[in-house]
């Protein structure tokens, strides 16, 4: 989508569709001016009661006399002139994006300053609005023919103009830049997540990382193959790919744009490009959705694309531990014991608890960067869905200030996370009779014990774990990757500048 910022009175714009926010009792400035220009036409429409003023509702008018607009879209902002709540604003953006998708016009204009949200700046409102539009207009079209059943939906809109007073234009432009970068990065993550496992395998992800580095001078990419990982002692990671014909890869994308010598922030994504469960085979129902088991890795790619677009003055390492988990005569068995890169031994009680096995070696490898902090992102446990559903990402950490920074970023980005506890009482569930630890801790507190497992390999630095099993993708009619938690992570990095 093309976005532009333009100064000038909304009521005088020549546009295919002018979009205004309206209250029942008080018209915002742009709507008041338009009402005056049209001799009370707008007020008359509203008095008829055709618009439900609850946020999330809207009314499309096909024409407006005496005004240069072809269509007028009214967005409900409540019964009175109070600012919208975040929840109300979210409903408004969803409705607006839906209306824009169905609009039979190539361009539209939004009076952005008339949309007020309690406690939020015009910059924030602009950014969130742009993100919502970018999200709604995304289409995964690589494998669809453009004719017949399953044809792509036809979208006419190509350009959105954000109308703002000259004194606020720079603030709107700044919000637009962030919104587009985050929206684009989120859509990169969605595309990688939506790709099928026969195309998006570990080598594909490695090639994508190399291609990204070729396009941007501040980014370099290093990829470790299985021999190199074996030489480093990464037997835990390699135990996951043992049953697959696809070789594992450890991908390191290094973005160096901060102060020379400044410690980098490391983002580590779980990249299981397809997860059958291995010998501990998953049920067949909905197993196709296990292509989404690399959404943590996809989010790292999304964040790297966003920070490159924003040219953030920061040092970030984007790591991806990529493997495919398949059953075969070479696959790891339940009861096998492997030695991790750290030297700690692991009894693999369940081969479907594989994400932690690839991440633990990557966490050890991350020590060489002497990081300021490491954040891993993983579709790790079904238990997180039981705890938090599909709305909130699980957060666990060995460092309270880091956890607080991430929670704050999640609220600001409207990409919510919730912190779960950790402690020795949970870690004891991982005790093994035969090795330093087991890779599962039983059915109780599965999200927490998984994080406790990872924490054993992250003692050298501040570390946080984001369990996105419930938020990384949607099932059913709207099946597809969501691109979360790209907004949260980009906001966290913005807050570090």
Q: In CATH, what number is assigned to the domain containing residue 228?
A: 3.40.630.10
Domain contains 104 = yes
Please state the φ and ψ torsions of residue 160, each to the nearest 5 degrees: -125, 125
Which residue has 């309206």 as its token pair?
A: 22
Q: What is the mean pLDDT of each run of 10 residues along the chain (497 residues)?
A: 92 90 83 84 83 92 74 90 94 96 94 95 98 96 72 81 96 98 98 98 98 97 98 98 98 96 97 98 96 98 98 98 98 98 98 98 98 98 97 98 98 98 97 98 97 98 98 96 98 97
Same domain, 219 and 88: no
Residues 137 and 231 in one domain: no
**Both 467 and 332 in a single domain?**
yes
- Max distance between CA atoms of the chain, in angstroms, equals 84
The verdict on residue 310 lying in a domain is: yes
Q: What angle do CA 425, 426, 429 make, to 5 degrees?
A: 105
Q: What residues contact 411, with CB distance under 8 A and at least 6 apart?
A: none
Residue 201 lies in a domain: yes
Within a domain: residue 177?
no
Same domain, 145 and 194: no
Do residues 162 and 214 both lie within one domain? no
- Nearest CA to 131 out of 497, 486, 391, 493 is that of 486
Same domain, 224 and 129: no
Residue 174 within a domain: no
What pLDDT score was predicted for residue 64? 58
Residues 198 and 142 in one domain: no
Containing structural domain, residue 16: 2-166
For residue 171, being part of any structural domain is answered with no
Q: What radius of gyration do the chain's Cα atoms show? A: 25
Is there a single domain that holds both residue 160 and residue 304?
no
> How far is residue 326's CA from residue 244's CA, in Å, rounded to a whole number?
5
Q: Which residues are catalytic?
A: 282, 356
One domain, residues 191 and 75 = no
Check which CATH number belongs to the domain holding 118 and give it. Answer: 3.40.220.10
At 26 the pLDDT is 76
* Same domain assignment for residues 343 and 387: yes
The reply to whether 173 falls in a domain is no
Quote the number of domains for the chain.
2
How far apart CA 206 and CA 320 sit, in angstroms, is 9
Residue 172 falls inside a structural domain: no
Q: What's the pLDDT score for residue 147? A: 56
- HEC string of the chain equals CEEEEECCCHHHCCCCCEEEEECCCCCCHHHHHHHHHCCCHHHHHHHCCCCCCCCCCEEEECCCCCCCCCCEEEEECCCCCCCECHHHHHHHHHHHHHHHHHCCCCEEEEEHHHCCECCCCHHHHHHHHHHHHHHHCCCCCCCCCCCCCCCCCCCCCCEEEEECCHHHHHHHHHHHHHHHHHHHHHHHHHHHHHCCCCCCCHHHHHHHHHHHHHHCCCEEEEEECHHHHHHCCCHHHHHHHCCCCCCCEEEEEEEECCCCCCCCEEEEEEEEEEECCCCCCCCCCCHHHHHHHHHHHHHHHHHHHHHHHHCCCCEEEEEEEEEEECCCCCCCCCCCEEECCCCCEEECCCCCCCHHHHHHHHHHHHHHHCCCEEEEEECCCHHHHHHHCCCCEEEEECCHHHHHHHHHHHHHCCCCEEECCCCHHHHHHHCCCCCCEECCCCCCCHHHHHHHHHHCCCCCCCEEEEECCCCCEECHHHCEECCCCHHHHHHHHHHHC
**pLDDT the model gives residue 63:** 66
Does the bond joining 485 to the residue before it have cis omega, within 30 degrees of 0?
A: yes
The reply to whether 376 and 436 lie within a common domain is yes
Cβ 97 vs Cβ 42: under 8 Å: no
> What pLDDT is attached to residue 456?
98
Tokens of 57: 């509702």
Boundary of a domain, candidates 135, 166, 197: 166
Pair 197, 153 in one domain:
no
Q: 365: alpha, beta or left, given left = phi > 0 and alpha = psi -120 to 50?
A: alpha
């Amino acid at each position: 989508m093309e976005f532009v910022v333009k100064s000038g009175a909304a009521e005088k714009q020549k546009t295919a569709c002018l979009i205004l926010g309206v209250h029942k009792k008080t018209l915002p400035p742009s709507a008041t001016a338009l009402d005056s220009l049209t001799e009370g036409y707008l007020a008359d429409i509203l008095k008829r009661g055709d618009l439900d003023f609850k946020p999330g509702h809207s009314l499309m008018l096909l024409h407006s006399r005496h005004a240069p607009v072809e269509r007028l879209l009214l967005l409900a902002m409540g019964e009175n002139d109070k600012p919208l709540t975040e929840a109300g604003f979210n409903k408004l953006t969803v409705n607006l994006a839906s209306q824009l998708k169905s609009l039979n016009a190539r361009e539209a204009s939004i009076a952005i300053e008339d949309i007020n949200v309690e406690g939020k700046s015009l910059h924030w409102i602009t950014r969130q609005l742009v993100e919502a539009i970018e999200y709604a207009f995304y289409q995964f079209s690589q494998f669809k023919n453009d004719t017949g059943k399953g044809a792509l939906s036809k979208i006419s809109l190509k350009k959105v103009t954000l109308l703002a007073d000259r004194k606020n234009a720079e603030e709107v432009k700044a919000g637009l830049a962030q919104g587009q970068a985050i929206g684009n990065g989120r859509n990169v993550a969605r595309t990688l997540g939506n790709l099928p496992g026969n195309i998006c395998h570990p080598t594909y992800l490695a090639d994508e990382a190399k291609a990204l580095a070729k396009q941007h001078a501040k980014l370099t990419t290093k990829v470790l193959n299985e021999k190199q990982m074996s030489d480093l002692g990464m037997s835990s990671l390699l135990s996951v790919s043992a049953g697959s014909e696809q070789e594992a890869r450890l991908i390191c994308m290094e973005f160096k744009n901060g102060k020379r010598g400044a410690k980098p922030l490391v983002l580590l994504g779980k990249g299981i490009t397809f997860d059958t469960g291995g010998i501990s085979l998953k049920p067949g129902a909905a197993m196709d959705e296990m292509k989404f088991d690399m959404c943590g890795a996809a989010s790292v790619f999304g964040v790297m694309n966003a920070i490159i677009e924003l040219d953030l003055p920061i040092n970030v390492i984007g790591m991806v531990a990529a493997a495919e988990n398949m059953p075969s005569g070479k696959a790891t068995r339940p009861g096998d014991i492997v030695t991790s890169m750290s030297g700690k031994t692991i009894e693999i009680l369940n081969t479907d608890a594989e994400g932690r096995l690839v991440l633990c070696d990557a966490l050890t490898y991350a020590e060489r960067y002497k990081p300021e902090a490491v954040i891993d992102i993983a579709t790790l446990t079904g238990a997180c869905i039981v705890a938090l559903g599909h709305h909130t990402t699980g957060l666990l950490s060995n460092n309270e200030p880091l956890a607080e920074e991430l929670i704050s970023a999640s609220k600001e980005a409207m990409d919510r996370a919730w912190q779960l506890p950790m402690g020795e009482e949970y870690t004891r569930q991982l005790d093994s009779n035969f090795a330093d630890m087991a890779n599962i801790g039983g059915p109780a507190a599965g999200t927490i014990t998984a994080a406790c497992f990872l924490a054993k390999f992250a003692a050298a630095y501040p570390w946080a774990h984001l369990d996105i099993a419930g938020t990384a993708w949607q099932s059913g009619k709207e099946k597809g990757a969501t691109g979360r938690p790209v907004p949260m992570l980009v906001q966290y990095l913005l807050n570090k500048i």
